[in-house]
Amino acid sequence: MAELKLRSKDTDSLRRIIESALSERLQIIKAGIQKIEERLQELENKYQLSTEDLIARFNNDELDHNFDFDEWIGESRMLTHLQQTKESIEEIDFVD
């Protein structure tokens, strides 16, 4: 695990600023995840197909190309990215 050291004249203030920024970013990411999950659910319901099945079938050229599929795949990739970012932020631990 990597460790980052910061120096400040007012370490308590710096810590509060960083914690606040991380908390705010985490809330934005969580809202993005929820919005994407809702959109993916809409697409899954519309096409009666799970996201995993769509990607597998699309990669095997079993589906005709259309805008919904492009959006669906993009949203799926963005969800993965946001989930990884969320996990990275949640793993941050302040040490003294």
The 10s digit of each residue's pLDDT in 17-65 is: 999 999 999 999 999 999 999 999 999 999 999 999 999 999 999 988 8
Question: 74 in a domain, yes or no?
Answer: yes
Give me the pLDDT at residue 65, please. 84
User: What's the rounded Cα separation, in Å, for the pair 49 and 53?
Assistant: 6
In a domain? residue 42: no
pTM metric for this prediction: 0.88
Structural domain includes residue 43: no
Distance CA 10, CA 55 (A): 50
Asked, for residue 34, whether it belongs to a domain, the answer is no
Q: At what angle do helices 11-47 and 67-90 cross, to 10 degrees?
A: 150
| Residue 82 resides in a domain | yes
| Residue 10 located in a structural domain | no
Q: Measure the CA–CA gap between 76 and 40, rounded to whole angstroms.
A: 7
**Residue corresponding to tokens 């990597």:** 2
Whether residue 9 is contained in a domain is answered as no
Angstrom distances, CA of residue 38 to CA of 18, 31, 58, 89? 30, 11, 21, 23
